Chains A and B, each alone.
Chain A
Amino acid sequence: MTFTKPSQALIDKTTGLLQSGMNARAFGEYGAPEALGDARWTDELILSTWYMAETGKLPEGLNHKTGKSDGGFDRLDFRYLPESEWLEHSEALDTTLDLNRRGDAKRRISIDIPWYGGGMSYGSVSLNVMMSRARAYTKWNSYMSTGEGGYPIELMECKENVITQVATGYFGVEEETIQAAPIIEFKYAQGAKPGLGGHLLAAKAGEEVAKLRGSVPFVSLFSPFPFHSTYSVEDHSKHLDWVETINPTALLAVKVSTPHDVDMVAIGSYYAGAHIIHLDGSYGGTGAAPEIAKKNIAMPIELAIPKVHKFLEKEGVRDRVTLIASGGVRTTDDIAKAIALGADGCVLGTTDLVGLGCTRCSNCEGGPSGRGCPWGLTTTDVELQEWVQPDWAVQRLDNLYSAMQYRLRDILRQLGLSSVTELRGRTDLLRYIGKEEAE
C-alpha cells in the first residue's frame, strides 16, 4: 500500500488529538498508560518529560530525575548543602559551556546550556523532526548534529548551529556542508551498536533520503565500521587535517564509543587535534540497533566518563579538550551527574524525541507496518511524518530545555556552585545510594 501526504484536515484532526492526549497524560488527567515505560525510562520519566515540554516547568509529583535501572545514574545522587546555604535561584547561575579549549586560532564557541543535539540522520528521522531540533537548538545558542545522512538544504537556515557529521559511509558529505559548519564531527562509532556500523533499512531510504545520500531509493544503506581509511591514530590525524584544509575555522569533534581502552582513544584523538571528544555510551541510541549490541558491547557512559576524565587529567591535557557524554543521558540530573563524574557537557537524542511524544516503543526501524515510527518521529513516511508539525515541536523543545536549565540551576545552587563548569569532576559532591532509596 502506498501512502500520500494527508489532507490538512486529517493532519489537523490527528495532531489535535495527539497533542491534547499528550497534554492530558502529562497533567495526570488519565494517569500513566499502563504499558508505558521500562527500567531506564520509567513511565514517570516519560510523562515528566512531556510535562516539561508542555509547560517549560518542572513537574510536581512525578520523578523527573531518575529511572529504575538499579545502577549508574540511577544509584547516584548529589550531596546537597543544608538549605540555609543554598544560593538564590537566579539567571546569574552560569550554565554556559566553552567548546574550544585548545586556545588555537579556530572559532571560540560557547553554548548557553551544557548540552547539544546528537546526530539523528535524515532518513532515520523525518525532516520535520530534524528542522524542529535544529531550530530549537539555534534558539538556545547550541548545536545539533546532522547525523550521517547528509545535510538537507532546509537546514541552511540554521547553519551556524548545525554540526556536520562525517561518518564511515560518507553519506551526504560534501565540501559545501563541511565549509558551512562551525563544528565538524567525525563519528567513529556509536554507543548503541559499537563496532557494527550503521544500517538504514530499505523502507526508510525513500526518494529524498536516497537523493541526499547519493543512492538509489528503497535500497538498504550500510555505513560500515570502521572508517576504511583509518587504521591508526595517525590516519585519524589525517582525517582531521583534511577537514581543516576545507574549513580552517571549524572545531573538530570526534565521536567514539566506550571500549575498555576508551581512555587511550580519547588521548589519541586529542593529540590528533580534536577540540571535542564525544563519548557515546552503550545504553543509549535513538535508531535501530541489534538487541545484543545495545546490552552487551562496550560500557555504559557512567563508567566511561571517569576513566577518560582521570586519564586526560593524568596526561595534563584535561583543560585543553571538551569532553562530551551521551548514550543513556536522559534527564537534567543525568547531565549534572555526568559532569560531576568528569564530563564537560552532554549530547541528547532520546530526550528530544521523548519530548516530542516518543513512548520508546522501539519500532523505529519500521516495525510490522514497515513504515517507521507511528508517532511520526523516526520515519520518512509521507503520512506519518506530518504528525510532528515543526512549530509545535520547536515550542515543545524550547519548553523542555527551559525546564531543564531551571533544574540545572537548581542543582547548582543547592550545591553552592555558581557555574556549571565548577561541577566538573566533583565526585565529592556525589553519593552512591542504596537500592531502596533509589526506588
Chain B
Amino acid sequence: MLESSGHLGESDVSSALTYEEFGAESARLGRKIADSYQRYEIETTEVDDVDPLPHRFLVEVGKIGLAKFIIKEMIHYRGQVDIILSRPCTYGVFSGPVGGFVPRPKLCVGCLRCTVQHPEFVSVLPNPDRLNLGDSYTTHGHIAAIDEEAKKGMVPVRGQGYRGRFGGPGFDGMLTDMSEIVRPSRDGIHGRELIGTSVDIGTKPMNLSFDSSGNLVGSSPRMFSIQVPFIFDVPPGDLGTRQMARILDSTSRRIDTLICLPAANVLDWEMDSANIVPVVPKSLPEMVSEFEAARLIELDGWDVAALETARAATNALLGVRICFTDGWQEKFSQAVNHGVEVIHLNADLHGRGSDGRFVSDLFKEAHMMLIDQGRRDVVTLIGSGGIVGADHVPKAVISGLDAVALDLPVLFALQGRSHGSMTDRGEVRGTLPRKMTDEWAEQRLANLCASWRDQLLEILGAMGIREVRRLRGEFGRSMIVRQLEDEAFAGIEGYVSGGPA
C-alpha cells in the first residue's frame, strides 16, 4: 500500500511555466511524492505463549510394552546404539530425558506415526479439553486459528487439503471467487504489496457540484482513512477493563485503526484521542463535546433528538449504533435520512439478528437499502457480531460493509478463556492470563491484525482486486454454496433446493 504522508510543498513558481520549467517542476514534485511514500505494513514478531491452549493431542505410552520393546531391541540390535535409540517421532515427543516413558504431548502434531509404528503400546488421542473450547459458532478451530495467528503473525499454512464440512451455515456457505486467466491486475504472490486495504470512514457526496464560475459548491467529503478494514469494538461483557482499553488503544495507534470504548471510560481513564471512538449513551448526547480529539463518535442507539444535540456540540463525525432487532430497518432509514455519517450495525456474537437471520444477509440488506436510494457513499457501514475468522472479513465486506468490528477474537488472541455466554455481548465473561503484559498483548493483537490483513490480501489477490474498497458489496465475486448446489444437483432424485434435512 502506498500512503502519502506530509505536506508536499507548493511550487514557488507563481507565473506560467515554460515547457522546460514545467518538466523540471513535475520531476521535482514527482520525486518528492515518491520519497514521501511509505508502504504500509504491520510489524510482526513471534511471541511466546503465556497461557497456552490445551495441547491438541494426548500421548499415552504403555510403560510395560515400551520396556519390553526396548529389551527386545537391545538384544536384537546389540551394540547398534543408533538403531536402538531411533524414535518414531521427528517432533521430539519421545526425546525427553527418559524417552517414551514420559512423552511430551505438547510437541505432538498428530502425525500418528508412533501409534502406527507401535500400535501395541502407543496411543494418540484428541485432547477433550481442547475440543471443549468455544461453542457451536466460535469453535475450538476458530480459537486455535486465532491463537496461532496472534502468536506468529503469519498466514496459517497446512498441507493435505481441506478437512471440514462441505459448505455450511453462515459465512461457511459463502465462497469467494478467483480470476483464472483474464485479470484486472497482476496480483497473486507477486504484487500483493500493491493491494490496498485502507478504507474511508465518513461521508462522501455522491457527486460534485460547481457554480457558474466553476467553483466547488455543496457538501465536501468528511472522512478519514484507516489502514485496515477492521476496528476494535467495545470489549463485550466484563472484558472492558482499563488494561484492555490501554492495550487496544496502543494497538490501534500502531496499526492505524480505531477502537470503540464506552464514553464514560474514555473520560474516566483520560483516553480521548483520534483513534478512540467514544460510544455515547443516546440519553446523554451533549457528552460528545467532551471529546475534542475524537474523529468519530458513536451514539449508542438511534434517536433523532440526540443526534441533533450531538451535532450541535461537536465537529467530529457522528455515528449511530443500530442493533439488528425488530424495526432496525426503520431506524436505519431514519438515521440515513438525518445525515448520520457512520452506521455501526450490531448482531449477536453468533452473527444473528433477533429474527435469526445471519449477518451476511442483514449486511446485504442494509447495503442494498443505500444502493437503492443512490446514497451508498454518503454513509460508512461498520458491522460487528460473528466475525471470528480471517475469512469473515472479506465475506462481510462482500456483503456490503466498509469495515468490521472485532470483539471476541481479542479475548482469544490474548490467550484468554471464556466462561460465560459467547452469544450475548452483555453476558460475556472472560479471564485473561495473569502473566499478560501490555507489550506482549499489543504484539499479539498486532500479529493477529497482520495475519488477517495478509489473508485478506490472499483473497483479494486471487480475485485480482487491487483494493478492499472495491470489494464492498461485490456479491458477484462471491458464490453461495446453496445456489451452486441448486445449479449442480437440480434434477437429481431426492435433491430439494436448499438441500434436504
Chain A positions within 8 Å of B, measured between CB atoms, are: 7, 9-10, 13-14, 17-18, 21-22, 24-25, 29-30, 33-36, 38-41, 69-72, 74-76, 79, 188-189, 192, 194-197, 199, 222-228, 230-233, 235-236, 256-257, 259-262, 265, 268, 282-300, 302-303, 305-307, 327-328, 341, 350, 353, 357-365, 367-369, 371, 373-375, 378, 384, 427-428, 430-435
Contacts and interface: CB of A to CB of B under 8 A. Distances in A.
Interface residues of B, number: 84
A290 B458 contact: yes
Contacts of A287: 159
B180 A374 contact: no
26 contacts: A10-B83, A33-B112, A33-B116, A34-B125, A39-B164, A40-B164, A195-B188, A222-B190, A224-B189, A224-B190, A231-B182, A265-B181, A292-B390, A292-B391, A292-B459, A296-B391, A297-B462, A298-B175, A299-B481, A306-B489, A350-B161, A359-B116, A362-B163, A364-B160, A432-B495, A434-B500
A286 B160 contact: yes
Contacts, number: 308
Given A35-B124, A432-B493, A291 B119 contact: no
B164 A13 contact: no
A384 B90 contact: yes
Given A285-B160, A363-B111, A260 B119 contact: no
Contact of B178 (A18, A35, A199, A259): A259
A10 B165 contact: no
B118 A365 contact: no
Contacts of A194: 178, 462
A7 B83 contact: yes
B501 A259 contact: no
B27 to A, nearest CB: 30
Contacts of A427: 489, 491-492
A231 B390 CA distance: 30
A292 B494 CA distance: 32
Contacts of A192: 161-162
Contacts of B159: 285-289, 362-365, 373, 378
B495 to A, nearest CB: 4
Given A10-B82, A40-B162, 19 more contacts: A14-B88, A33-B115, A33-B123, A35-B125, A195-B464, A197-B188, A226-B183, A285-B162, A294-B158, A296-B391, A298-B175, A302-B488, A328-B161, A361-B109, A361-B110, A362-B163, A367-B109, A427-B489, A434-B494
The 8 A-B residue pairs whose C-beta atoms are closest, nearest first, are A364-B159, A71-B166, A195-B462, A225-B188, A195-B178, A432-B495, A38-B163, A432-B494
Contacts of A233: 181-182
B176 interface: yes
Contact of B167 (A25, A71, A196, A360): A71
B119 A362 contact: no
B66 interface: no
